[in-house]
Structure formats: structure tokens, C-alpha cells
């Protein structure tokens, strides 16, 4: 069994089914991850993308028209952690090769998009991880074999974390 790693679990490399034509999406935003200072390239790394209302306001209400691609135009798997169109939405994107020059593109604005581009069943995370929790509004586990957690006694409340939300 692997140790539980908050926010640093390896994501599963997986091809996305279906055809993707970026011309069918009215909006795109290039995202550059310049804060990483490590010397090595991380493989299949879950990177946190924060989307503000200027982006999510033009998306379908549940974000089902959102897609991410790498520099070669390959679709990337992702998982929505927190979806809050009038505020800040947090999305974990599986980046195949992550270094200080990594660039991905977010695409949205396709009214014809019927299937969500994101996973809600843990398919983004490697099978070996027993528990992947984001500590957002719910305490749900997004690993491939979901577990259940809850707070005891006085409970807990959402707080700002170093990466995304935290529980206090």
C-alpha cells in the first residue's frame, strides 16, 4: 500500500476518448506553471489550476465544456475539486511532463459539448492510491476505490490551505 499524499499523488496517465477539435471551443487560455524550481521533470503530475469568474462565467454552469490540452494538443484528464463560477474554481489537471517550462491550454465555450471532460470516479489517480482527498466542500474521496471520512466531535471548517482548501 502506498502512503497517502495530499495534493501530490501521481495521476494516472490515460488517453481521453473521443475527438477533440479546438476550433469548436470559443475560448482558450494558456496556463504556464512557472513556480516549480526543481531540476527534474515530474511525470503524470496533478497540477492545481485556479479559475476565476472571468473564465468560468463563459462556461456551461457545471463546467462540462471545459477541456485541457498539453503543448502537443493532447487532451489531459482532470478532476474538478471545487466548482464556484462566481468565485474561484479549483481544478486538478494531470500533466504528463511537469517542469518549470510546462504550458497547458484550457479550452471552453462549446455549447455542443455533451460529456464532461473531467472525471468524478477517481480515474485520474493511480490505482495504488488508497485515498485522495481535497478537503473542499465535501469530504469525498476521489481515489479509484472511494473511502468515506467524516469529522468527529466539533467537526471542522474550511480554511485556506497552502494548495487549495484545507480543513481546520
* 147 Cβ contact partners less than 8 Å away, ≥ 6 residues apart: 130, 131, 141
Given its phi and psi angles, is residue 26 left (phi above 0), alpha (psi -120 to 50 degrees) or beta? Answer: alpha
- Checking if the pLDDT of 101 tops 70, the result is yes
Closest CA to 142 of 150, 153, 129, 133: 133
Sorted by where each starts, the structural domains of the chain and their CATH numbers stand as 22-123 (2.60.40)
Dihedral sign from CA coordinates of 10, 8, 27, 72: negative
Would you say 145 and 125 are in contact if contact means Cβ atoms under 8 Å apart?
Answer: no
| Average pLDDT estimate for 130-150 | 55
Q: What is the mean pLDDT of the chain?
A: 74
Residue of higher predicted confidence among 68 and 164: 68
pLDDT digits (tens, 9 = 90+) for 153-162: 455 556 666 5
pLDDT digits (tens, 9 = 90+) for 19-44: 788 999 999 999 998 888 889 999 88
- Checking if the pLDDT of 59 tops 70, the result is yes
**Residue-level pLDDT at 125:** 61
Residue of higher predicted confidence among 86 and 158: 86
pLDDT digits (tens, 9 = 90+) for 102-126: 999 999 999 888 777 766 555 566 6
Alpha-carbon distance of 80 to 62, in angstroms, equals 10
* 136 Cβ contact partners less than 8 Å away, ≥ 6 residues apart: 81, 82, 90, 158, 164, 165
* Measured CA angle at 138 (ends 134, 142), to 5 deg: 50
Amino acid at each position: 500500500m502506498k502512503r497517502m499524499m495530499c495534493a501530490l499523488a501521481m495521476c494516472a496517465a490515460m488517453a481521453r476518448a473521443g475527438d477533440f477539435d479546438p476550433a469548436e471551443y470559443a475560448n482558450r487560455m494558456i496556463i504556464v506553471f512557472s513556480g516549480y524550481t526543481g531540476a527534474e521533470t515530474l511525470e503524470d503530475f496533478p497540477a492545481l489550476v485556479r479559475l476565476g469568474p472571468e473564465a468560468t462565467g463563459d462556461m456551461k454552469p457545471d463546467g462540462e465544456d471545459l477541456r485541457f490540452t498539453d503543448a502537443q494538443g493532447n487532451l489531459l484528464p482532470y478532476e474538478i475539486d471545487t466548482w464556484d463560477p462566481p468565485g474561484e474554481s479549483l481544478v486538478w489537471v494531470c500533466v504528463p511532463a511537469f517542469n518549470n517550462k510546462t504550458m497547458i491550454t484550457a479550452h471552453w465555450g462549446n455549447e455542443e459539448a455533451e460529456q464532461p471532460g473531467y472525471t468524478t470516479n477517481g480515474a485520474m489517480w493511480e490505482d495504488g492510491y488508497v485515498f485522495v482527498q481535497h478537503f473542499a466542500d465535501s469530504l469525498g474521496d476521489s481515489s479509484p476505490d472511494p473511502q468515506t471520512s467524516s469529522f468527529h466531535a466539533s467537526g471542522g471548517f474550511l480554511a485556506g490551505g497552502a494548495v487549495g482548501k484545507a480543513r481546520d
